[in-house]
Chain A
Amino acid sequence: MNCPSADQIYSYLENELTSSENKAIEKHLLICLKCRKALEVRKFLLQAIETLPSWQVPSGFSQQVMDRIFPVKVSIRGWLTAFASGFVAFVLGFFIYVLATGQNLSSLLINLNQSLLEQAKSISLVFIKFFKLISVSLKIIHQLSGQFIKALTLLTTLFSPEVQIIIIIFTLILITFSIYGIGRKFLIGEKQ
């Protein structure tokens, strides 16, 4: 056999050759110093390559990937379970409180009921006042808008279009300055 090529040497080192090819190379190596040296060099190289430092993922990597694939979703069933658990905990806590304090359960329930009723009354009063305020505000806005439309109608009947434009511009300027003035007043007030 002639000297083996570099790829044959690699194949020999990686057990990629047939047994007859292996034997032929081994026989040649016995008589060829150059090929023995070439084999040693490549063996050393392969040894280094196969023990190269390994890259490691950080801990929890697989969980991170799983979280990206399956984002956590709270289902309605989950919410219902949480609500039911909370309710059961409340009822249990209530009974433990009754047992620990030795209070009469029926009187405690009546007291609780009364206090809840009081709370409901006060909340409903706030709501009624709020809705009254809104309805009054809406009435005022409605009346003002009616007056405004009447004024506009009067404007169109009394004055010529040119005068109407002048009056509208003048009114707009007046409104702008009024808003600006009110704003300034508030700002000055804040500064003081």
Chain B
Amino acid sequence: MIEDKELIERILQGEKEAFEMIIRKYENPMLNYIGRMVGERELALELTQEVFIRSYTSLNSYQPQYKFRSWLFKIASNLVIDYWRKKKVATFSLNHRNVRENQKQSIQVADDEPSIIQKFELSQLRERIDQILEKIPASYRELFVWRHINELSYEEIAEIKELPVGTIKNRVFQTKEIIRQLLEERP
């Protein structure tokens, strides 16, 4: 597969087909991110299109020292935030009891921790996780989706959000623990 760097150079030289290759490479990862952030398929498709249009129009501002996909996801993240602001959706509030901003202390394993292994089949568990994800505060869900669905490294996520790697790791761990606890709580 052709590297992003080479494709970008070809686009900047006027080769339109190179941009179509970029779209084909990132269309599904982008839809998976936006889809899990906004929840509606049609809206997610529209916003995904918008991300590619914005990225093409602002390609001259892309700095090659950063990873292209980080830059692309940053555009997507800003677009999703803009969309919520316009719709006045307060999805970035940290409303879960277990989520504490800048929490530094480690989460300890409880002695009587119930197990989700006996409770769910793998397919059931996936279904439940997708349902629970919708209830996770967006600022945490975003990091979780990037890490575990888009398979971005913690360093890439830190680059996108301009936050320390430790903070990103901590938030992703907290999100997983919230999901696990919610899975245990539900009948």
Instruction: Give chain A's interface residues, CB within 8 Å of chain B.
Output: 3-11, 16, 34-35, 37-38, 40-42, 44-58, 61-66, 68-70
Contacts and interface: CB of A to CB of B under 8 A. Distances in A.
A57 B129 contact: no
Contacts of B169: 7, 11, 16
Contact of A56 (B31, B117, B149): B31
Given A5-B109, A7-B107, A10-B173, A45 B180 contact: yes
A134 to B, nearest CB: 52
Given A42-B176, A53-B130, A47 B122 contact: yes
12 contacts: A5-B109, A10-B173, A38-B109, A38-B113, A42-B176, A48-B122, A52-B148, A55-B35, A56-B28, A62-B23, A65-B49, A65-B53
Given A3-B108, A7-B173, A11-B169, A57 B16 contact: no
Nearest to A51: B126
B44 interface: yes
A55 B44 contact: yes
A37 B110 CA distance: 11
A69 B11 CA distance: 13
Given A47-B122, A49-B129, A64-B49, A41 B35 contact: no
B115 A37 contact: yes
A180 to B, nearest CB: 54
B159 interface: no
B106 A7 contact: yes
Contacts of B31: 55-57
B32 interface: yes
Q: By DSSP majority rule, is chain A's interface helix, strand, loop, or mixed?
A: helix
B15 interface: no
Contacts of A47: 122
Q: By DSSP majority rule, is chain B's interface helix, strand, loop, or mixed?
A: helix
Contact of B41 (A41, A45, A51, A55): A55
B126 A61 contact: no
Nearest to B49: A65
A58 B35 CA distance: 14
Contacts of A10: 173, 176
Nearest to B31: A55
Greatest chain B CB density within 10 A among A6, A46, A47, A56 is at A6
A42 B107 CA distance: 13
A6 B181 CA distance: 12
B113 A54 contact: no
Nearest to A4: B109
Contacts of A52: 126, 129-130, 148-149
Contact of A35 (B48, B109, B129, B173): B109
A66 B27 contact: no
Contact of B106 (A5, A61, A69): A5
B173 A69 contact: no
B148 to A, nearest CB: 5
Contact of B125 (A11, A44, A69, A70): A44
A45 B126 contact: no
